[in-house]
Amino acid sequence: MLPLIELALGGALLVAGRRLYWLLAATMGFVAGLYLADLLLPNEPQSTSLIIAGALAFGGAILMVLFQRALIGLVGFLAGGVGLYLLLTGLTTNLLTETWMAASVFLVGGVVGAILLNRLFDVGLILLSAVIGAYVMAAGLGSLLNLDGSAYSVSLVLLIGVGIVIQLGLFRKQ
């Protein structure tokens, strides 16, 4: 069930991430919830992880709708940090083995993401939602199709490109 949820969330972000800015916050909550549940409750069933992820996704979406201006920087920071980290771990397997290196990548990505979303809201939203959407969708595809490392990396890069092209096309039509 999780791969299908990942495909749906990732696909929605790739196609409409700019228009559905709250979906980026919800997806970030979902990804964080899955990660935290696996980290803090490793022996619990997948349904527990899904409940936690769903609660954080719902909370992220509601907070983004209610406090959009205040949360843009925070969501940009989290999406940029997670996006750069996931992008680098998806493209290479051993780059971020040191904790300080992973934290540094997260911080750099976070600062860039916050600046992108604050200064260039539309472009930043397109880039961040394409990276996060591609990662979530590639994770779902990887689970369903048992993709190896290189096939996963290629699908990740292709999905990012597709997401950017689709959203820029939607952006130009308006």
In tens, the pLDDT along 53-90 reads: 999 999 888 888 888 777 788 878 888 888 888 778 77
CA distance 17 to 121: 12
Number of independent structural domains in the chain: 1
Torsion 29-27-152-4 (CA) sign = positive
Return the minimum-mean-pLDDT range out of 21-35, 60-74, 83-97, 140-154. 83-97
Residue 33 vs residue 69, higher pLDDT: 33
Domain extent at residue 48: 2-173
147 conformational bin, left if phi > 0, alpha if psi -120 to 50, beta if neither: beta
Query: Which residue is it, tokens 């493209």?
Result: 91
